[in-house]
Structure 1
Amino acid sequence: MTTSTTAPGGALSTLARRLLRHRVRALVLAAFFAVLAGVFGSGAAGELSSGGYTAPSFESVRADRMLADRFHAGAPDFVLVVRAGDDVSAHAAAGTRLTERLATTPGVRFAHSYWTTGDPALRSADGRSALVVAKLSGDDTEISHTARALAKDLGGRHDGLDVLATGSATVNEEADRQSAADLTRAELIAAPLTLLILLVAFGSLAAAALPVLIGAVTVAGTLAILRLLTTVTPVSIFGLNIATALGFGLAVDYSLFLVTRYREELAAGRDTAEAIVTMLRTAGRTVLFSAVTVGLSLSALLVFPIYFLRSLAFAGIAVVALAALASILVLPPVLALLGHRLDRFDPFARLRRHRLGLWRRLAVRVMRRPVLVGASAATVLVALALPFGQAQFGLLDDRVLPRDSPAQIAGDAVRTEFPGGGAAPVVVVLPDADPPAVAAYAQSVAGLPGTARVDIGASSGQGGWLSVASTAEPNSAAAEEHVRAVRALPAPGPALVGGDAAVLTDTKDMLAERIPWAALIIVVSMLVLLFLFSGSVVIPLKQLVLTVLSLTASFGAMVYVFQDGHLKWLVGDFVHTGQLEVTVPILMFCIAFGLSMDYSVFLLSRIREEYLAHGDNTRAVAAGLERTGRLVSAAALVVAVVLAAVATSGLSVLKLLGVGLALAVLVDATLVRGLLVPSAMRLLGAVNWWAPARLRRWHDRFGLHD
C-alpha cells in the first residue's frame, strides 16, 4: 500500500510556504496581536458576571420576579446576620435604623427585618441574633456590585450590634474576588512546573520554550475574547479560570505535536523548509481536526438555556480555535528562524533515547494478551465509576466559599441558628385570585403531604401569594416531590410556584430535557468527524465507547471526594455538603470528552498513517503508540498540571472541576491510550478499518486526506 502523506500540496502546504517567505512579517504581526490582545483583555475580569445558574423561562424565576415586582416580597439575595449579645428585642431602635438604612440605599428594592415585621423566622432560636433581608435590583453584575458596597458599608459594629453579610449576591461577589486571586496563584504554580515537564520531554530550552510561547499568545487572545464576548452576552466569572487553563493546555498540546513532527522530519534528512511544510500538512491537519472535535464537544453546552454553561461554551470554542490558529500560524516562522538550532544544549537526549522504545514495548506486550489486559483495565475504570451511582445534586450556596469567608461564616449561622435554616420556602404567586379564592387554595395546599405550614403573604383584588413551609430539606428529592404536588394542585387561575426547591426542580427538569440533545450533538459529530478522518465506521464507535469509559474514574471521584468528603486533604480543605452542584457534571463531561478526543485524534492519526503505509494493523498500532506515547504523556501531564493548579482554588466548584478534569486527562493518557486502545485494536484487527462499500467510496471522494 502507498500513501500520499509525503507528497507536497494542499492548503496547509501553501500556507506553510507563505509563512516561510514572510516569516519576519508573520512574527511581527503575531507579537502585535499578543500585545494588543493582552492590553485589551486586561480588563476582562471586571466585565465578567456572577451567577447565571437559572434561566428567565424557569417558572421559579418568573414567580420570584412577580413576587418582587407586585408584592415587594420573595427570596432575599442580601442578608445581614445581626448579633446583639443579649435579647435582640432590646435593640429595636438600632435594628430598625439598620433596616431603614439598608432599605433606602440605591439598588435595594425592599428590605425588612425581625424588628420591622416581628416575623419569628427572622429571630434566632436563642433570641440573641436577628436577620435583615433585602432584595436588590439590576442584573447579576449590578447586584454583585451593590452587595459588595453594602457589605463594606454595613458590615462590622453598628450601635452595639455586630453585623455579617451573606446571601446569594454577597456569595457571588466574594466568589468573583476569590476566583481572580485563584487565577494568579494557579498561573504561578503551573508556569514553572510546565516548563520543567517540557524541558524533560524536549530537552533543549528552545524546544521547551516554543509551547510556552504559543500558550502565552493563546492566553492573551483568550482574555481579549472573553472581554469581547461580554459585549454581546453575560459571561460567567468562572470562564476566566476555565478558558485560560483550557487555552494554555491546548496550545501546549498542539505545539508539542507540531514540534515533534518537525523534529522527526529533520531526523529523516529533510531540510528546514521541507520539514516545516511536511509538519504543517500532516500534523497541522491533525491539529485543526482535533480543534474541531474539541469545539464541537463544547458546543453541546449551547443547548442549555443558562448562561453559566452557554457562556463557557462560547468562550471555550473561541479559545480552542485560537489555540489551533496560534500553533499553525506562529510556529512555522519561529521554527524557520531556529532551524537546526532547535536542539542545541539538550541535557536529556540520552534519557529520551533510552526510553524511545518504551511505548512500543508496552503496546507489543498488551497486544499479546489483549483480552486479559483490556478486561482488567475496563474493570478498574468501571469500579472507579461506581460511586457516581450514589450522586446527589443540589444548588450552589455560600458553602462554595472557603471556610473562613465572611459570607460562609454568616451563612452557617443562618442555617444553624434560625428557624427553617434560612432556606426560602415554597412560594405560590396567584396573580388573578381574589382573597376568598386565595384562602381556599391555601387550605388545599395545607392538606398536601409534605406541607408543614401555609401563610398567606398578601391577598387583595390584585391577587395574592402564599408562603409554604415544607417538611423536607430544599435540595432533597422529597422537596422536589412537594413542589410537583403543589404545581399539580388545581389553582384559582394562573399560579407560579417558586422558592429554592422549585429552582432545583426547574433546573433538573431542564437538564433532563436538554441532556439527550447535548449527547446527540456530541455523539453524531464525533462519529461523523472520525469517519471523515479514518474512513472506518468501526473506529468511531470504538473511540466513542473508550472515550466515555475514560471519563468514568473522574465522575466516581467527584462523588467520593466532593460529595462524600473523603481524601479532602489531597485537594485542600473545603465544605462538603453531601451534594454536587447540578450543572457541573455536564460542564466537566463536555470539556473532558473534548480533551479525550483530542488525544484520540493524535494517536489515531499516526496509527492510520502507518496502516496506510503497509496495511499491518498490529504493527501500525505499535508504531503509532511509539510515536505518540511520549508526546501524549507530556501533553497530558502539562494539561493535568494546569488543571491541578486550578484545583488549588479556594472555591470548591473550581476544585471539583480542576481535580475531575486532571484525573480524566491522566486516566485517558495512561490506562485508555496505553492499555485499552491497543487491546481493542488488536482484537478487532483489520475490522478496525472496515466500512460499507458505499461509505468507502463516499469517503474516497469527500473524506479528509493528506
Structure 2
Amino acid sequence: MERLARLVMHHRRIVSAFWVVLFLGGMFSASQLSDRLSLDFSLPGQPGDDAENQLIETYGVSTFDTYVAIVTVPEGETVQENQDAVTEVFDAAVTAVQEDATLAATQEVQLRVVTFDSTGDEGFITDDGRTTFALLQAPIPVAFGPYIEAPLEPALEEAAQSRGFESGLTSYGLLATGGDTEGPSVLVETLLAAAGALLVLLFVYASFLALLPLLIAAVSILTTFMLVLGLTTFSDVSVIVQFLIALIGLGVAIDYSLLLVSRWREERAHGRDNEEAVIVAMKTAGHAVFASGVTVAISLVALLVVPVPFLRSMGVGGMLIPLVSVSVVLTLLPALLSSIGPRIDYPRIRHEGKASRGWSAWARVIVAHRFVATAAALVMLALLIIPVFSLKIGQSGLESQARSGPRYEALETLRDGGVGGGILTPVEVLV
C-alpha cells in the first residue's frame, strides 16, 4: 500500500485525469443504460417458464402484465344494448397502440385481446350490466418506463367519451407503481440519498472535506454504469442492476472513503506532514478497504451459480461496484488528499483534540457491564429477527398496491360490479 500511495501521489495529475475521463464517460452511459437493460425475470427450466415461452411463440405476447381496459355505459343502459359501440371503443384503443410510432421505434408490438364480444362470456360484464372490460397482453417491454398504456389510455378515453361512455385502465404493474411508470430516474434517486448522506458527513467533518466521499461515490457509481453498459452489448443485464449499483455504490464508496479520510485526518492532527499522513492512512486503512471490497465482491459473485439469468446479471453488476469503489478510493482519493486535502479541510468548526467525553463514557459503561450489554444486544437482535418467521415470499397482493388514483378507481369499478381483482393476474393454461 505504501508503494501504491507514493506512486499515486507522484502521478496525481495523471490519476485524476484518468478518473475524470471515466466520470464523464459514466455520465453519458447513465443516460443510455436504462434503455439497454432487460425486464426479463424468467426462470429457465420451470414448467411455468416453458408455458410462457410457448405462449410467446404462439401469440407473440407475454404474461408479463395484463392490462384491463374498462368501459362503462350510461345509467339505464346495458353493455349488451351497446355492444357494437363498446367493441368500436376497444378496437380504437387497440389500433392506437398498434400504430403508435414511439412503440414501433423500439419494438414490434403485437396484442392479444380478450373481450365479451370475442368470447361471449358474461363474466366480462359486471352484475349491473353497465361495465365491461377487455384483457390485453403485449410482448415483454424492451425498456423500463411507459409501455402500451401511453397510447392506450388516451385513445380509450377519447373513443369512450365520443360515444358517451366512461373508461378506465388498470393492471397489476400500473397499481404497483401507483400509475407513475416513469418516476424519478435512478440518478435522481441517488442524488436524493446523497443529500441525506451529505448532512451526516457535514456533522462528522464540519468542513468542506465532507464533499470528498460524495465525489468518490459519484465517480464510482458512474464508472460502474459505464462498465455495465459495455456488458449489455454481449449479455442481458437485469434492470435491477442499476438500482443495486446505486444502492451499494453510495454506501460502500462513502464508507471506504470515511475510513481513509478519517485516518488521514488523525495523522495530520498528530503532526505528520500531508504526504506522510496519506502514506500512513494507506498503510493502515487502505488494507481494510481492500479486504472489505474484495469480500463484498466475492459474496455477490456467488449469485453466478444460481441458474436464473437475472440473478446472474445482478451478481456480475453487483460485483463491479465494490471493486470499482476500492479502485477509486485507493487511487483517486490519495491523489486528492495529497493535493487539495488540507485546503478543503476548512473551516473545521470542530477540533477533536481529545476523545469525545460522551463516547468515552459510553465505552466505559459497556466494558464495565459487558455481560449485561451482550445480553441486551442479543435480545434486541432477537426482536429484529422475529418478523422473519412470518415473512411471506411471493407476489404482493392487491392490498399492498396503490389505494387511490385512476388505476385504483378502475379496479374498484369492477369490484363494485362483482368482478374480482384476480383478473389482473390471470392464470394461463396451455393445452
TM over 0.5: yes
1: distance between equivalents of 2:278 and 2:369? 39
Change (3 A) 1:198 1:426: closer
Alignment of 1:14-413 (within 5 A): 14-50=3-39, 52-67=40-55, 69-70=57-58, 77-86=66-75, 87-101=78-92, 105=98, 107-138=109-140, 141=143, 145-155=147-157, 157-158=159-160, 159-167=163-171, 177-180=181-184, 184=188, 186-187=189-190, 189-205=192-208, 207-338=209-340, 340-349=342-351, 352-353=352-353, 356-396=356-396, 402-413=402-413
1:161-206 CA distances to partner (integer Å, 9 max, x unpaired)? 333223356568877834435752x44543443223212211221x
Structure 1 residue 257, shift from structure 2 partner? 0.5
2: distance between equivalents of 1:140 and 1:406? 26
1:621-677 CA distances to partner (integer Å, 9 max, x unpaired)? xxxxxxxxxxxxxxxxxxxxxxxxxxxxxxxxxxxxxxxxxxxxxxxxxxxxxxxxx
2: distance between equivalents of 1:100 and 1:147? 15
| 3-state SS in 2 of match to 1:153 | helix
Structure 1 residue 341, shift from structure 2 partner? 3.6
Structure 1 residue 53, shift from structure 2 partner? 3.8
1:364-416 CA distances to partner (integer Å, 9 max, x unpaired)? 32222222111112112212332332222331477666444544443454556
2: distance between equivalents of 1:234 and 1:396? 26
2: distance between equivalents of 1:334 and 1:125? 71
Change (3 A) 1:320 1:83: farther
| 3-state SS in 1 of match to 2:347 | coil
| 3-state SS in 1 of match to 2:136 | strand
- Aligned residues of 1:179 and 1:241 also touching (Cα < 8 A): no
- Aligned residues of 1:81 and 1:130 also touching (Cα < 8 A): yes
2: distance between equivalents of 1:370 and 1:295? 34
1:649-706 CA distances to partner (integer Å, 9 max, x unpaired)? xxxxxxxxxxxxxxxxxxxxxxxxxxxxxxxxxxxxxxxxxxxxxxxxxxxxxxxxxx
- Aligned residues of 2:220 and 2:325 also touching (Cα < 8 A): yes
2: distance between equivalents of 1:314 and 1:426? 33
Change (3 A) 1:23 1:168: same
- Aligned residues of 1:151 and 1:165 also touching (Cα < 8 A): yes
2: distance between equivalents of 1:413 and 1:303? 46
**Which sections of structure 2, spanning at least 5 residues, go unmatched?**
99-107
2: distance between equivalents of 1:325 and 1:356? 32
- Aligned residues of 2:92 and 2:159 also touching (Cα < 8 A): no
Aligned to 1:517: none
**Quick one: which amino acid aligns to residue 202 of structure 1?**
Y
2: distance between equivalents of 1:342 and 1:182? 29
Change (3 A) 1:170 1:265: same
TM-score (norm 1): 0.53
**Quick one: which amino acid aligns to residue 89 of structure 2?**
L
| 3-state SS in 2 of match to 1:338 | helix
1: distance between equivalents of 2:306 and 2:180? 23
Change (3 A) 1:361 1:74: closer
User: Once superposed, what is the RMSD of the aligned Cα atoms?
Assistant: 3.3
**Quick one: which amino acid aligns to residue 197 of structure 1?**
V
**Which sections of structure 1, spanning at least 5 residues, go unmatched?**
1-11, 430-464, 466-706
**Quick one: which amino acid aligns to residue 60 of structure 1?**
G
Structure number with higher relative contact order (C-alpha < 8 Å, ≥ 6 residues apart): 2
1: distance between equivalents of 2:183 and 2:394? 21
Structure 1 residue 247, shift from structure 2 partner? 0.9
Change (3 A) 1:67 1:247: closer
Structure 1 residue 139, shift from structure 2 partner? 5.2
| 3-state SS in 2 of match to 1:145 | coil
Change (3 A) 1:233 1:26: same
Change (3 A) 1:425 1:347: closer
Structure 1 residue 271, shift from structure 2 partner? 2.5
Structure 1 residue 333, shift from structure 2 partner? 1.1
Change (3 A) 1:419 1:73: farther
Change (3 A) 1:192 1:68: closer
2: distance between equivalents of 1:74 and 1:247? 33
1: distance between equivalents of 2:337 and 2:59? 67
Worse overlay, 12-21 or 171-180: 171-180
2: distance between equivalents of 1:233 and 1:402? 34
2: distance between equivalents of 1:139 and 1:337? 48
Structure 1 residue 110, shift from structure 2 partner? 2.4
1: distance between equivalents of 2:86 and 2:290? 63
Structure 1 residue 279, shift from structure 2 partner? 1.7
2: distance between equivalents of 1:305 and 1:415? 39
Structure 1 residue 347, shift from structure 2 partner? 0.8
- Aligned residues of 1:218 and 1:322 also touching (Cα < 8 A): yes
2: distance between equivalents of 1:102 and 1:228? 38
1: distance between equivalents of 2:112 and 2:311? 31
2: distance between equivalents of 1:302 and 1:413? 45
Change (3 A) 1:341 1:15: same
Structure 1 residue 32, shift from structure 2 partner? 1.8
**Quick one: which amino acid aligns to residue 392 of structure 1?**
K
Change (3 A) 1:291 1:425: same
* Equivalences, count: 414
**Quick one: which amino acid aligns to residue 122 of structure 2?**
P
2: distance between equivalents of 1:172 and 1:141? 17
- Aligned residues of 2:79 and 2:130 also touching (Cα < 8 A): yes
Alignment of 1:287-686 (within 5 A): 287-338=289-340, 340-349=342-351, 352-353=352-353, 356-396=356-396, 402-414=402-414, 417-423=417-423, 424=425, 426-429=427-430, 465=431
1: distance between equivalents of 2:18 and 2:343? 23
1: distance between equivalents of 2:187 and 2:398? 20
| 3-state SS in 2 of match to 1:81 | strand
2: distance between equivalents of 1:98 and 1:66? 30
Structure 1 residue 88, shift from structure 2 partner? 1.6
